[in-house]
């Protein structure tokens, strides 16, 4: 972790003064530093850092503006702005744990392909903040970011399976895989159909952890390692970010990492249908009718709506054992981005208590989520003249809602289910992370799961 968070500051650690906008006089800043800040036109602008000298001209500390109403994750900007060395907060931030998480997340750098690591910073944690909790949350987010940032040349279905096995080995979890034509024999026809045109065989990855008699929590993540759109091929501009189409898998693995590192008293299961939606002579076609594990027949209106197909088979398997909580995450629809943009993922659930808990955790942890309706009248938009259901609608309206309604048909027994239509990508740098692969919703989910089962 580029930012090392410690519980005891060194004797040489330097202070960071948190300054509200136009609040220099209330920040407890020494007189000389106050004069320096005014000479440099610093008045506490949100996100601005000003290094201040000591009396001998050496580095003496820093001022950091939080504006008015800036969130605690904004502290992540310090990871990039401060000079290397040891630091501590001169006064406790309003949200100390969240500020520490922001610091940790802000130091992230993806270094696999030669980018240099960030500056070496050591930062004393605010009093009362649990260092191990902050580190496991940051580690989960970093895992999700790393997986999404890795191009498909190094993150195809085989590589995604390797990533799952690596995580499992770190936590003594078990992994089984159903691969290639065995998917047909084991009744996962939609996963097979979507991935069969790729040179990298489709598979269903199944990781389990925890005591068998503990409450069952199941996470399902869309693992489409690249999406050409299939025979309904995407334009080249729409393929540029398709390495991130396994962002649902990356996010559930990040969440699983948090859960296992915390030792929560749950029976965790992670299901990842890992495929590449490629083009070849054996690719599935528009107009095909696919069988599914659930027994529902699906007419293919568009091969670019493949994520819901692989999730359908995986959700049907998950539902068979009736877990206490079933979560699926997927980079599923462009409609979700049109409705809410890249930073605010919608989620869908019929569980009012779960919806309330997620909303509260989202707000408290600055992990944006927004509930959308499972609007049943739109179910008829998925009708087919020759099969039980079509995988797309014909009018193009309410695409995220109808995708969620499609998935709901494969969840029948589980009382508490939620679907997250995430982007898994940050288009621009933010204080708590650079542009690129992103974890969305998993910090809020970790809070809810910890509260329910911890």
Q: What is the pLDDT of residues 90-145, one digit of tens each?
A: 989 989 999 999 999 999 999 999 988 878 899 999 989 999 999 999 999 999 99
207 and 104: one domain? Answer: no
Which backbone phi and psi does 71 adopt, to 5 degrees?
Answer: -75, 165
Averaged pLDDT, 15-19: 92
Residue 122 catalytic? no
274 and 205: one domain? Answer: yes
Domains contained in the chain, number: 2
Q: What is the CATH number of the domain that holds 31?
A: 3.40.220.10
More confident residue, 161 or 32: 161
49 and 153: one domain? Answer: no
106 and 201: one domain? Answer: no
Instruction: From the candidates 294, 308, 381, 409, give the one annotated as an active-site residue.
Output: 308
Q: How many CB atoms lie within 10 A of CB 388?
A: 16
pLDDT surpasses 60 at 1: no
Averaged pLDDT, 430-451: 98
Averaged pLDDT, 222-237: 98
- Please report the pLDDT score of residue 20 as a whole number: 83
Averaged pLDDT, 300-323: 98
Residue 234 catalytic? yes
* 387 in Cβ contact with 212 (< 8 Å): no
What length is written for the chain? Answer: 454
More confident residue, 47 or 427: 427
% of the chain exceeding 90 in pLDDT: 88
Mean of the per-residue pLDDT values of the chain:
95
Closest residue by Cα to residue 148 from 421, 350, 404, 438: 438
Averaged pLDDT, 294-308: 98
- Please report the pLDDT score of residue 189 as a whole number: 99
Using pLDDT thresholds of 50, 70 and 90, give the confidence band for residue 28.
Answer: confident
* 227 in Cβ contact with 238 (< 8 Å): no
Instruction: From the candidates 165, 234, 371, 452, give the one annotated as an active-site residue.
Output: 234
Tokens representing 85 are 């060395």
Q: What is the pTM of this model?
A: 0.97
Q: Which of 129, 149, 166 is the last residue of a domain?
A: 129
- The whole-angstrom separation of Cα 311 and Cα 404 is 11
pLDDT surpasses 70 at 33: yes
- The whole-angstrom separation of Cα 316 and Cα 451 is 27
- The whole-angstrom separation of Cα 437 and Cα 239 is 15
**E strands in 68-159:** 85-89, 121-124
Q: Which of 77, 100, 129 is the last residue of a domain?
A: 129
210 and 331: one domain? Answer: yes
Q: Classify 102 as helix, strand or coil.
A: helix
* 106 in Cβ contact with 76 (< 8 Å): yes
Domain extent for 273: 136-453
- Please report the pLDDT score of residue 22 as a whole number: 67
Q: Which of 71, 98, 129 is the last residue of a domain?
A: 129
Using pLDDT thresholds of 50, 70 and 90, give the confidence band for residue 27.
Answer: low
More confident residue, 37 or 220: 220
> Mind listing the pLDDT tens digit for each residue in 336-364?
999 999 999 999 999 999 999 999 999 99
Per the DSSP assignment, residues forming a β-bridge with 194 are: none
pLDDT surpasses 80 at 26: no
Averaged pLDDT, 300-321: 98
- The whole-angstrom separation of Cα 129 and Cα 95 is 10
- Please report the pLDDT score of residue 140 as a whole number: 98
114 and 143: one domain? Answer: no
* 317 in Cβ contact with 294 (< 8 Å): no
């Amino acid at each position: 972790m580029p930012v090392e968070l410690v519980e005891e500051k060194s004797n040489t650690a330097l202070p960071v003064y948190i300054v509200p906008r136009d609040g220099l006089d209330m920040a407890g800043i020494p007189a000389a530093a106050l004069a320096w800040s005014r000479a440099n036109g610093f008045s506490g602008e949100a996100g601005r850092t000003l290094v201040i000298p000591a009396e001998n001209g050496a580095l003496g500390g820093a001022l950091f503006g939080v504006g008015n109403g800036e969130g605690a994750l904004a502290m992540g900007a310090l990871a990039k702005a401060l000079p290397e060395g040891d630091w501590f907060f001169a006064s406790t931030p309003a949200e100390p744990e969240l500020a520490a998480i922001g610091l940790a997340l802000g130091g992230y750098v993806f270094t696999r392909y030669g980018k240099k690591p960030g500056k070496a910073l050591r930062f004393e944690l605010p009093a009362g903040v649990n260092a191990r909790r902050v580190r496991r949350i940051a580690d989960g987010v970093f895992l999700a970011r790393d997986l999404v940032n890795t191009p498909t040349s190094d993150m195809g279905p085989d590589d995604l399976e390797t990533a799952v096995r690596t995580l499992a080995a770190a936590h003594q979890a078990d992994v089984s895989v159903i691969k290639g034509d065995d998917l047909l024999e084991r009744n996962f026809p939609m996963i097979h159909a979507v991935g069969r045109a790729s040179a990298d065989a489709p598979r269903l990855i199944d990781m389990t952890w925890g005591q068998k008699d503990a409450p069952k929590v199941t996470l399902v993540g869309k693992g489409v390692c690249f999406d050409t759109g299939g025979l309904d091929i995407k334009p080249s501009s729409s393929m540029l970010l398709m390495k991130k189409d396994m962002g649902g898998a990356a996010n559930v693995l990040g969440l699983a990492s948090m859960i296992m590192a915390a030792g929560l008293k749950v029976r965790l299961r992670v299901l990842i249908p890992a495929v590449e939606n490629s083009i070849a002579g054996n690719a599935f076609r528009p107009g095909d009718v696919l069988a599914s594990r659930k027994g529902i027949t699906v007419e293919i209106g568009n091969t670019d709506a493949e994520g819901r197909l692989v999730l359908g088979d995986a959700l049907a398997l998950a539902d068979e054992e009736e877990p206490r909580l079933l979560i699926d995450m997927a980079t599923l629809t462009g409609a979700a981005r049109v409705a809410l943009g890249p930073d605010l993922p919608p989620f869908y659930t019929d569980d009012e208590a779960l919806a309330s808990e997620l909303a509260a955790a989202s707000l408290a942890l600055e992990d944006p989520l927004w509930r959308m309706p499972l609007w049943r009248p739109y179910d008829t938009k998925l009708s087919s003249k020759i099969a039980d259901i079509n995988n797309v609608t014909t009018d193009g309206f309410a695409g995220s809602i109808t995708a969620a309604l499609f998935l709901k048909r494969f969840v029948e027994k589980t009382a508490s289910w939620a679907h997250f239509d995430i982007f898994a990508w940050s288009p621009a740098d933010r204080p708590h992370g650079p542009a690129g692969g992103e974890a969305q919703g998993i910090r809020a989910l970790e809070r809810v799961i910890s509260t329910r089962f911890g």
